[in-house]
């Protein structure tokens, strides 16, 4: 008890000396009060309790918060990794901006209008696109595909070329058409891109009768030679194929400047929304301009909902763990009744006593959170460099869990912990203040 009195008197002496030598405001006095409360809370945190159970419960509370913090950060980082991976895959297939008609399936855009689009600040490349369903046949094997006719500049719009695993990204011409198919389509029709000797047969819906019109089934037919196979992800590999936009316009009886879409690439670090607004101002309300997010709004929304639902569930678990501190701090308040009485005698008010035990709870919480964050960072770094936790199966494009840490996640987790810990420590702190009133009376 004598040691405690000396400790408190030493703090008070320093406080009084500081007040006598400095001209400070009310806000600064409040900060000093919190500092004194922190010193006492730190002393209580380090000191050995008379009842061993209090120490055990306190460490269990801190450990629970550490595990909860590590779990939240790890899960958020894995979600970030998958989101970044999927976004990168989609960015190699879906363009920064896509222009489609508000009504109808096709539209005509003159060369002058295309040139004006190209001249908009922030646009680095564009491609006219004609897309239609088609039937692809190789002998007895056949499959329905989405055939996408693209301009020669298409490889500057998206990075599809780097995903070609066999052959090359060559789409041919009107007279000698070629097709680049997804790996799933390649398997479905049983074609060997590198050793194929015979062309595939392509059937497309016909708008009107002509010399090549097949009256029996209402389809145009053409022979087309496979030139390459790409592998991005299953959704694209099983459905999409690429050919020349001029060949598609010929097959569908479209005009040379008639398209189903215009796809554009923006310069890095440009505000895509501003470029979108400029395009809408140029073309008017007859056209719909979509960003990459808007083209895949359902996918991105589902990913975000999954992430935040898991985050909310883990926060509930963290809340349950943090509320173990109520028992720890309540037992500590009962143990420190004599200390509280001495503090009252030495001039501490009820608010300051409450601050001490509130600070004690925050110490337990934040030390646990820091330990948990350290564990999470260590595990994330190990996963990034060594990829030691593997994904089950071989269907995905990678065989390990991707991880991406974000500072905003850490800030959010520590904010949630602050709220939960403060709420959990408030009741015992109030009990300490009421106990001080009772002891005084």
pLDDT digits (tens, 9 = 90+) for 228-281: 999 988 889 999 999 999 999 999 999 999 999 999 999 988 899 999 999 999
Distances (CA, A) of 289 to 170, 204, 260: 28, 27, 13
Note down pLDDT in tens along the chain; length 441 residues.
444 445 554 555 555 445 445 555 656 556 655 666 667 667 766 666 555 666 777 788 888 889 999 999 999 999 999 888 877 778 888 999 999 999 999 999 999 999 999 999 999 999 999 999 999 999 899 999 999 999 999 999 999 999 999 999 999 999 999 999 999 999 999 998 887 667 899 999 876 544 444 544 578 899 999 999 999 888 899 999 999 999 999 999 999 999 999 999 999 888 999 999 999 999 988 999 999 988 888 888 888 888 889 899 888 888 887 777 777 777 777 777 777 777 777 667 777 777 877 888 888 888 899 999 999 999 999 999 998 888 876 556 678 889 999 999 999 999 999 998 888 888 887 777 776 555 555
Q: In angstroms, rounded to a whole number, what is the distance separating the alpha carbons of residues 253 and 208?
A: 8
Roughly what angle, to the nearest 10 degrees, separates helices 324-335 and 350-386? 140
**Total-model pTM:** 0.73
Q: What distance in Å separates the CA atoms of residue 61 and residue 322, rounded to the nearest whole number?
A: 6
Between CA 90 and CA 129 the distance in angstroms is 17
Query: pLDDT tens across 41-74, in order?
Result: 677 666 665 556 667 777 888 888 899 999 999 9
Measured distance CA(182)–CA(150) in Å, rounded: 15
Q: What is the DSSP string of 5-74?
A: HHHHHHHHHHHHHHHHH----HHHHHHHHHHHHHHHHHHHHHSPPSSHHHHHHHHHHHHHHHHHHHHHHH
Rounded to whole angstroms, how far apart are CA atoms 278 and 125?
16
Instruction: Outline where DSSP puts E strands in 345-393.
Output: none
Here the tokens at position 415 are: 């904010």
96, 132, 259 from 264: Cα distances, Å: 6, 19, 14
pLDDT at 11: 53
Question: With contact defined as beta carbons under 8 Å apart, do 242 and 171 qualify?
Answer: yes
Residue 310 corresponds to which tokens in the numbers above? 């898991």
Q: Where are the domains of the chain?
A: 33-89+300-440, 95-295
Q: Give the chain's count of helices (H) and strands (E).
A: 15, 13
SS3 letters across 142-175 = EEEEEEEEECCCHHHHCCHHHHEEEECCCCECCC
């Amino acid at each position: 008890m004598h040691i405690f009195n000396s400790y408190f008197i030493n703090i008070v002496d320093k406080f009084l000396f500081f007040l006598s030598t400095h001209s400070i405001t009310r806000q600064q006095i409040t900060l000093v009060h919190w500092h004194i409360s922190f010193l006492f809370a730190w002393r209580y945190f380090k000191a050995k309790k008379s009842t061993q159970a209090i120490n055990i419960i306190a460490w269990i509370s801190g450990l629970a918060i550490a595990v909860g913090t590590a779990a939240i950060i790890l899960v958020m980082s894995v979600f970030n990794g998958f989101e970044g991976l999927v976004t990168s895959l989609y960015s190699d297939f879906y363009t920064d901006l896509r222009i489609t008609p508000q009504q109808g399936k096709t539209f005509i855009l003159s060369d002058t209008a295309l040139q004006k689009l190209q001249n908009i600040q922030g646009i680095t490349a564009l491609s006219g696109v004609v897309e239609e369903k088609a039937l692809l046949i190789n002998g007895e094997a056949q499959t329905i595909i989405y055939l996408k006719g693209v301009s020669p500049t298409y490889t500057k719009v998206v990075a599809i070329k780097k995903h070609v695993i066999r052959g090359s990204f060559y789409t041919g011409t009107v007279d000698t058409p070629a097709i680049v198919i997804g790996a799933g389509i390649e398997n479905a029709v049983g074609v060997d891109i590198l050793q194929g000797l015979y062309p595939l047969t392509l059937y497309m819906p016909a708008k009107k009768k002509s010399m090549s019109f097949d009256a029996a089934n209402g389809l145009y037919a053409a022979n087309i030679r496979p030139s390459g196979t790409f592998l991005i992800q299953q959704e694209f590999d099983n459905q999409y194929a690429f050919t020349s936009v001029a060949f598609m316009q010929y097959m569908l009886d479209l005009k040379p400047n008639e398209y189903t879409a215009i796809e554009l690439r923006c310069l890095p670090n440009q505000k895509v929304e501003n470029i979108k607004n400029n395009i809408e101002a140029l073309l008017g309300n007859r056209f719909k301009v979509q960003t990459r997010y808007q083209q895949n709004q359902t996918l991105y929304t589902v990913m975000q909902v999954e992430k935040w639902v898991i985050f909310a569930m883990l926060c509930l678990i963290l809340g349950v763990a943090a509320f173990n501190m109520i028992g720890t701090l309540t037992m500590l308040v009962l143990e420190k009744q004599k200390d509280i009485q001495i503090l009252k005698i030495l001039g501490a008010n009820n608010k300051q006593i409450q601050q001490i035990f509130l600070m004690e709870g925050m110490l337990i919480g934040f030390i646990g959170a820091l330990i948990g964050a350290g564990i999470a960072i260590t595990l994330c770094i190990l996963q990034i460099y060594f990829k030691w936790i593997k994904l089950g199966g071989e269907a995905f494009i990678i065989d390990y869990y991707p991880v991406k840490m974000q500072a905003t996640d850490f800030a959010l987790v520590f904010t949630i912990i602050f709220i939960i810990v403060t709420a959990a420590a408030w009741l015992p702190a109030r009990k300490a203040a009421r106990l001080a009133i009772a002891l005084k009376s």
